């Protein structure tokens, strides 16, 4: 015979609120996949140019299969993303929604980030294995990561790097115009570096990363742009081993997922000429969880950390800083590496990162 044990008394209202929260979590997770598909297939871009239309017309305009488009529209109608006229059998994407869902929305296009949900879902079993036995999930388990990273970081930086970010440097972009040596560490596909190389022909640029495929893309983009002042080098950031030969070093979202961030920062410091600047762009967060809870995308940030940023670091025997290592710890590590005059700035075109700027004395 089993006896039911009376657990602690439950607050019924709290249970009701949590049920609502759980329902939103399940629906939000599912709809993120639909949003990702809407982005990748161009359905949001197509619908943003159309008046209310039938699934057949939308499918034709997007060059897709009607049955799939109709089911996708049903999910998005239920999710209050598109609006449906049952009498007319039509669907429309309101302009207020299109402003957050289309490529034309630029940095405001949130569907880019929805793609992380499906990307991270691919490694769920690997991450569970690491929960059980330690270690982490290496980069080669995320075949689409570099493509998505290039797309999402370009969305934040493409329009703001030259006009809003580089002016944050102590002398703005004047030294770049005159001609200096610049390195980007953890450059990925090198889109930021290629943009700088094309904008500042008198300066010389080097991108370092371990991902050969990403470096190849950077080289191809440089060749297509006709830039001859840029090179891409395969190098472990923990063993940068460059003499003091750069006036400016940048890293965009590339410290927190390093296996050995302290070695990277030491290498960056050593590679700068005296007086040189380091622009270190990292996820906007406090180092203390309780100070991040009001951030609208905090759950997404910690999820990406668990399933990518932290685990790739741990996969290589690393520190596993995590995405939200935060401003306080970043300042501590920069100071330990020898940097001075550390300031933290924002970029209104990139609300998810903070911009740490410091100098080698
Ligand atoms: C989050 S991505 C950022 C890429 C790029 N800066 C951007 O904003 O698109 C981090 C980058 O760090 C690179 N990386 C990770 N560990 C590295 C290491 N030990 N040495 C060099 N690069 C590394 C990855 O290959 C990846 O391209």
CA-nearest residue for atom 11, ligand 1, is 186
Is a pLDDT exceeding 60 seen at residue 3? no
End-to-end CA distance of the chain: 76
Q: Which atom of ligand 1 is nearest to 214's Cα?
A: 27
The better pLDDT of the pair 159, 91 is held by 91
Compute the distance from residue 188 Cα to the ligand 1 centre, in Å: 5
Contacts of 80 (CB under 8 A, 6+ apart): none
- Torsion angle, alpha carbons of 302, 306, 307, 310, to 10: 110
Is a pLDDT exceeding 70 seen at residue 6? no
Compute the distance from residue 220 Cα to the ligand 1 centre, in Å: 18
Is a pLDDT exceeding 50 seen at residue 95? yes
Q: Name the packing angle between helices 212-225 and 145-157 (round to 10°).
A: 50
Is a pLDDT exceeding 60 seen at residue 1? no
Mutate to test the pocket of ligand 1, among 145, 152, 186 (most ligand atoms within 8 A of CB): 186
CA-nearest residue for atom 13, ligand 1, is 186
CA-nearest residue for atom 25, ligand 1, is 211
CB 249 within 8 A of CB 267: no
pLDDT digits (tens, 9 = 90+) for 315-354: 999 999 999 999 999 999 999 999 999 999 998 888 899 9
- What mean pLDDT comes out for the span 70-86? 98
- What mean pLDDT comes out for the span 70-98? 98
pLDDT digits (tens, 9 = 90+) for 233-257: 999 999 999 999 999 999 999 999 9
> Which among 235, 233, 237, 236 has a CA at the least distance from the CA of 222?
233
> Which among 45, 40, 43 has a CA at the least distance from the CA of 104?
45
Q: Which atom of ligand 1 is nearest to 139's Cα?
A: 25
Is a pLDDT exceeding 50 seen at residue 110? yes
Mutate to test the pocket of ligand 1, among 165, 188, 237, 305 (most ligand atoms within 8 A of CB): 188
Compute the distance from residue 329 Cα to the ligand 1 centre, in Å: 19
pLDDT digits (tens, 9 = 90+) for 262-311: 999 999 999 999 999 999 999 999 999 999 999 999 999 999 999 999 99
Report the alpha-carbon distance of residue 126 to residue 137 in Å, rounded.
6
Q: Which atom of ligand 1 is nearest to 236's Cα?
A: 20
pLDDT digits (tens, 9 = 90+) for 144-191: 999 999 999 999 999 999 999 999 999 999 999 999 999 999 999 999
> Which among 29, 229, 2 has a CA at the least distance from the CA of 124?
29
Is the CB of 237 inside a 6 Å radius of any atom of ligand 1?
yes
**Tokens encoding 320:** 């596993």
Is the CB of 48 inside a 6 Å radius of any atom of ligand 1?
no
Is the CB of 206 inside a 6 Å radius of any atom of ligand 1?
no
The confidence score (pLDDT) of residue 47 equals: 98
Domains contained in the chain, CATH given = 12-115 (1.10.10.10), 122-359 (3.40.50.150)
Kindly report the backbone phi and psi dihedral angles of residue 56, in degrees, each rounded to the nearest multiple of 5, phi listed first.
-65, -45
Report the alpha-carbon distance of residue 188 to residue 315 in Å, rounded.
18
Compute the distance from residue 72 Cα to the ligand 1 centre, in Å: 34
């Amino acid at each position: 015979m089993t006896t039911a044990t009376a657990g602690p008394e439950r607050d019924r209202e709290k249970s009701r609120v949590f049920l609502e929260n759980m329902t939103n979590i399940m629906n939000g997770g599912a709809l993120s996949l639909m949003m990702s598909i809407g982005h990748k297939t161009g359905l949001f871009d197509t619908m943003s140019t159309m008046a209310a239309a039938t699934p057949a017309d939308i499918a034709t305009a997007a060059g897709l299969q009607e049955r799939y488009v109709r089911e996708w529209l049903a999910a998005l109608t239920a999710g209050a993303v598109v609006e449906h006229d049952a009498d007319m059998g039509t669907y429309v994407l309101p302009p207020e929604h299109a402003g957050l869902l289309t490529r034309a929305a630029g940095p405001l296009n949130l569907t880019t980030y929805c793609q992380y949900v499906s990307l991270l879902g691919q490694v769920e079993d690997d991450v569970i294995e690491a929960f059980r036995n330690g270690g982490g999930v290496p980069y080669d388990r995320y075949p689409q990561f570099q493509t998505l990273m290039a797309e999402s970081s370009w969305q934040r930086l493409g329009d703001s790097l030259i006009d809003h970010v580089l002016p944050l440097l102590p002398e703005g972009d004047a030294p770049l115009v005159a001609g200096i040596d610049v390195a980007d560490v953890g450059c990925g596909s090198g889109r930021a570096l290629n943009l700088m190389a094309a904008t500042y022909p008198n300066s010389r640029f080097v991108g370092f990363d371990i991902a050969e495929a990403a470096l190849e893309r950077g080289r191809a983009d440089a060749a297509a742009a006709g830039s001859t002042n840029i090179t891409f080098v395969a190098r472990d950031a923990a063993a940068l081993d460059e003499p003091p030969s750069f006036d400016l070093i940048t890293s965009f979202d590339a410290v927190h997922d390093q296996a050995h961030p302290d070695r990277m920062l030491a290498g960056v410091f050593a590679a700068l000429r005296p007086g040189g600047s380091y622009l270190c762009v990292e996820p906007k967060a406090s180092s203390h969880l309780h100070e991040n809870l009001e951030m609208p995308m905090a759950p997404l940030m910690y999820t990406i950390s668990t399933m990518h940023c932290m685990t790739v670091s741990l996969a290589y025997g690393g520190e596993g800083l995590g995405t939200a290592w935060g401003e306080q710890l970043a300042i501590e590590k920069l100071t330990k590496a020898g940097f001075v005059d550390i300031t933290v700035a924002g970029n209104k075109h990139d609300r998810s990162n903070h911009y740490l700027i410091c100098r080698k004395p």
